[in-house]
């Protein structure tokens, strides 16, 4: 997790808002560093985490989390982390192997199944179990992290089905279980037309539902070695005044630093 | 006009609040619910987008028993087999039945949060038909809906809003605490009234309206007396009488006056003559091309 981002968002593993739906998005940049931040943040906060890894393998996150000081393999063994490795399980589902229990979760690969109900059932089963099975450990509120939702659009799931899925996740995890949900949506600049099946539409629809939105964009002036882009943080929460702030960031080997626009160390 | 329309107990009909992701119209919807409760009307909410406690908070506590929340948030599609109201049940008959089941107050108000959610699962034409049936049905006097404009094509938004007596479009104003509401109200007589106002919904669900916020400083500058630019200078920009007369006498270089015209038309003496020997290939027309000019 990134300490600077924690202070900007006024949260820490000991003290964070519950019931949040955090929407991460990027356009011409890569917001996956924020996924690593939240994964390590919530694991440090001793929450039960269900991670839907739809685009990368477990070892990828494991390696990065190691650098940020969290051991994913250990968390998985202790039962704190439930990891859906979609990439590994997908060929099996597509080729029709009946074996694993994860096949229901990946039902969306089998057309013409338009719903993400199977995926939702998987999430619900992973997070609804109280920590009582592992007697000694009682974990904090449940957390769902999805990396990422736009790939589902590419796989043929309709935007409406994705929105139904996120609605159910929010209703159960955020409202009922008082946990948090983090989802990443990746947008393309070319899809600016009002297509109802584009990531832009998905982003707009999810913005209505989220309580905090972090939008990552590349700098409009182009690539810069010292400033990798800018993040717009938008507090949308109920009862909270609409507040937006922009920060520029740079991703390092072991973290990321955030600073007000124009105050990068390379510039000052 | 915003307050009158939302507090209005006059005609009923359909009120649509349109918003975008930059400013949520839900606060205004809550204000609308609160006004209906104060008028002691039954309020039935089809809640798809937010849970009950969010809508219930801060409502007028005297008439909370008149507030009926039909939970379509926890399980709108029946995935968890615990649904109270599913999106499939959205029809005039079902809603009328729900409304009639509860004890009658003076009148009933139906609040839909939101139409955008329903539109994902129902044909817009069907939605319009059901809304129309509800309006004509008689069990419900006012229908107040929230619609997210930026999630639909413009044609769909316009068709749904066409049914409404009142359409309130809320947009954010840059970095301000207040928001802008454009209200279009169609009276029974057919007259259409439009107004733009700036408003905020306070913590206790009261509405604070400003006609137009004072733009800081701009309005005041114009009302000041015109500043004379030639004063307070170290050099003299003013003209004396003599100088002014001389200035007005100067003939401007490109103005085509009578003297210039006659000077140009006089044949100059000693000006060069042009002798032209046409070639065999030349197309030499003896006619004067300027013959038709009238000088």
ipTM for the complex shown: 0.84
**How many angstroms away from the CA of B53 is the closest CA of chain A?**
10
- Label residue A172 exposed, middle or buried (CB < 10 Å: 0-12, 13-18, 19+): buried
Considering CB atoms only, which of B50, B77, B150 is closest to A204? B150
pLDDT surpasses 90 at A37:
yes
pTM: 0.80
Q: Which of B29, B75, B79 to mutate to test the interface with A (most CBs of A within 10 A)?
A: B79
Residue spans of the domains in chain B: they are 1-183
A167 pLDDT band, cuts 50/70/90, is very high
Q: Contact, A229 vs A29, CB < 8 A?
A: yes
The closest alpha carbon to B44, from B5, B78, B84, belongs to: B84
The predicted pLDDT at position A111 comes to 66
Q: Which residues of B touch A121 (CB under 8 A)?
A: 79
Tell me which of B151, B174, B175, B201 to substitute to probe the interface with A (most A C-beta atoms closer than 10 Å): B151
- Secondary element (H or E) of residue B111: strand B108-113
Taking 70 as the pLDDT cut, the residues of chain B under it are 8-11, 103-106, 175-176, 211-226, 266-271, 284, 295
Give the chain A residue whose CA is nearest to the CA of B175: A243
What does CATH list as the number for B1-183?
3.40.50.300
User: Which stretches of chain B sit within 8 Å of chain A by CB?
Assistant: 21-24, 49-51, 54, 73-77, 79-80, 120-121, 148, 150-151, 153, 172, 175, 177
Q: Nearest by CB to B151, which of A121, A205, A238?
A: A205
Summarised one tens digit per residue, pLDDT across range A103-115 is 777 877 876 667 8
Q: Which two tokens stand for residue A226?
A: 């010292």
pLDDT at site A239: 56
Higher-pLDDT residue of A128 and A69 is A69
Q: A168, B79: Cβ pair inside 8 Å?
A: yes
Strand partners, A245: A233
Residue ranges of chain A whose CB lies within 8 Å of a chain B CB: 117, 120-121, 124, 160, 163-164, 167-168, 171-172, 175-176, 194, 196, 201, 204-205, 207-209, 236, 238, 241-242, 244
CB pairs under 8 A between A and B: 47
Task: Give the pLDDT confidence score for residue A242 in this predicted structure.
Answer: 73
Q: What is the pLDDT of residue A132?
A: 43
Asked if pLDDT for residue A146 goes beyond 60, the answer is yes
Q: What pLDDT is recorded for position B58? A: 79
Of A3-12, A76-85, A106-115, least confident by mean pLDDT is A106-115
Sheet holding B207-210, edge to edge: B67-71, B42-47, B108-113, B142-148, B13-19, B166-172, B179-186, B192-201, B207-210
pLDDT digits 0-9 by tens, A127-136: 887 544 454 4
d(CA A148, CA A151): 6
Please tell me the distance in Å from A210's CA to the nearest CA on chain B: 10
The answer to whether A61 and A39 are in contact (CB under 8 A) is: yes
The residue behind tokens 């997790």 is: A1
Tell which of A165, A172, A204, A242 to mutate to test the B interface (max B CBs under 10 Å).
Answer: A242
Q: Please, where are the H alpha helices in chain B?
A: 2-7, 26-38, 52-56, 92-101, 115-119, 124-137, 154-162, 218-223, 241-249, 258-265
Rounded CA-CA distance A200/A27 in Å is: 10
CA distance A237 to A17: 11
Pairwise CB contact (< 8 Å): B79 & A163: no
Among the partner-chain residues B121, B148, B153, the one whose CB lies closest to the CB of A194 is B153
Facing residue for B148 by CB, picked from A120, A167, A208 = A208
Q: Which long-range contacts (CB under 8 A, 24 or more apart) does B27-30 make?
A: B27/B201, B27/B205, B28/B168, B28/B170, B28/B181, B28/B199, B28/B201, B28/B207, B29/B111, B29/B113, B29/B144, B29/B146, B30/B55, B30/B58, B30/B59, B30/B201, B30/B205
Phi-psi region of B212 (alpha: psi -120 to 50; beta: other; left: phi over 0): beta
Digit-coded pLDDT (tens) for A223-257: 888 888 999 999 887 655 678 889 999 998 888 88
Distance CA A86, CA B143 (A): 45
Percent of chain A with pLDDT over 70: 89
Q: Which two tokens stand for residue B37?
A: 């409760």
Amino acid A199: pLDDT: 87
**d(Cα B74, Cα B135) in Å, to the nearest integer?**
27
* pLDDT band with cut points at 50, 70 and 90 for residue A210: very high
**Is-contact A238 B29, C-beta < 8 A?**
no
**Band of the pLDDT at A170, cuts 50, 70, 90?**
very high
Give the integer Cα–Cα distance in Å for A101 and A200: 33
How many angstroms away from the CA of A96 is the closest CA of chain B?
A: 25
Do B79 and A167 count as a contact with CB atoms less than 8 A apart? Answer: no
């Amino acid at each position: 997790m990134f300490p600077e981002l924690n202070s900007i968002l006024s949260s820490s593993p000991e003290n964070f808002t519950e019931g949040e739906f955090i929407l991460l998005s990027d356009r011409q940049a890569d917001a996956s560093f924020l996924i690593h931040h939240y994964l390590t943040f919530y694991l440090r906060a001793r929450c039960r985490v269900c991670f839907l890894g739809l685009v990368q393998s477990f070892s990828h996150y494991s390696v990065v989390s190691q650098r940020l000081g969290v051991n994913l393999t250990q968390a998985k063994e202790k039962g704190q982390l439930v990891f859906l490795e979609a990439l590994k399980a997908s060929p099996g589902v597509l080729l029709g192997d009946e074996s694993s229990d994860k096949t229901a979760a990946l039902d969306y690969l089998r057309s013409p199944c338009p719903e993400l109900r199977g995926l939702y059932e998987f999430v619900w089963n992973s997070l609804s179990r109280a920590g009582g099975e592992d007697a000694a450990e009682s974990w904090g509120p449940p957390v769902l992290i999805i990396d990422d939702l736009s790939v589902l659009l590419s796989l043929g799931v309709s935007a409406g089905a994705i929105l139904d899925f996120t609605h159910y996740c929010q209703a159960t995890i955020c409202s009922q279980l008082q946990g948090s949900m983090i989802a990443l949506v990746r947008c393309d600049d070319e899809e600016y037309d009002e297509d109802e099946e584009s990531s832009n539409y998905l982003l707009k629809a999810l913005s209505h539902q989220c309580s905090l939105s972090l939008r990552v964009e590349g700098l409009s002036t182009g690539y810069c070695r010292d400033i990798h882009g800018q993040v717009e943080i938008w507090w949308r929460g109920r009862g909270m005044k609409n507040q937006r702030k922009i920060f520029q960031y740079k991703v390092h080997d072991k973290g990321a630093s955030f600073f007000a626009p124009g105050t990068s160390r390379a510039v000052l | 006009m915003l307050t009158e329309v939302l507090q209005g107990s006059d005609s009923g009909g359909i009120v649509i609040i349109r918003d975008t992701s930059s400013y949520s119209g839900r606060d205004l919807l809550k204000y609308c619910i609160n006004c209906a409760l104060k008028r002691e009307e039954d309020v039935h909410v089809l809640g798809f987008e937010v849970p009950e406690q969010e809508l219930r908070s801060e409502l007028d506590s005297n008439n909370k028993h008149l507030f009926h929340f039909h939970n379509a948030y926890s399980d709108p599609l029946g995935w968890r087999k615990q649904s109270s109201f599913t999106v499939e049940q959205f029809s005039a008959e079902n809603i009328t039945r729900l409304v009639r089941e509860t004890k009658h107050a003076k009148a009933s108000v139906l609040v839909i949060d939101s139409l955008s959610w329903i539109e994902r699962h129902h044909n817009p034409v069907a939605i319009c038909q059901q809304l129309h049936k509800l309006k004509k049905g008689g069990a419900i006097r006012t229908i107040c809906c929230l619609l997210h404009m930026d999630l639909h094509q413009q044609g769909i938004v316009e068709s749904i809003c066409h049914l409404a007596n009142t359409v309130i479009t809320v947009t954010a104003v840059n970095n301000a605490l207040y928001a802008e509401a454009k209200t279009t109200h169609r009276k029974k007589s057919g007259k259409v009234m439009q107004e733009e106002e700036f408003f905020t919904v306070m913590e206790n669900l009261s509405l604070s309206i400003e006609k137009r916020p004072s733009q800081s400083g701009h309005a005041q500058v114009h009302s000041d007396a015109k500043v004379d630019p030639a004063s307070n200078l170290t050099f003299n920009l003013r003209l004396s009488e003599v100088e002014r007369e001389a200035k007005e006498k100067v003939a401007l270089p490109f103005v085509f006056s009578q003297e210039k015209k006659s000077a140009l038309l006089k044949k100059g003496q000693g000006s060069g003559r042009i002798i032209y020997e046409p070639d065999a290939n030349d197309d030499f027309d003896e006619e004067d091309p300027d013959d038709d000019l009238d000088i």
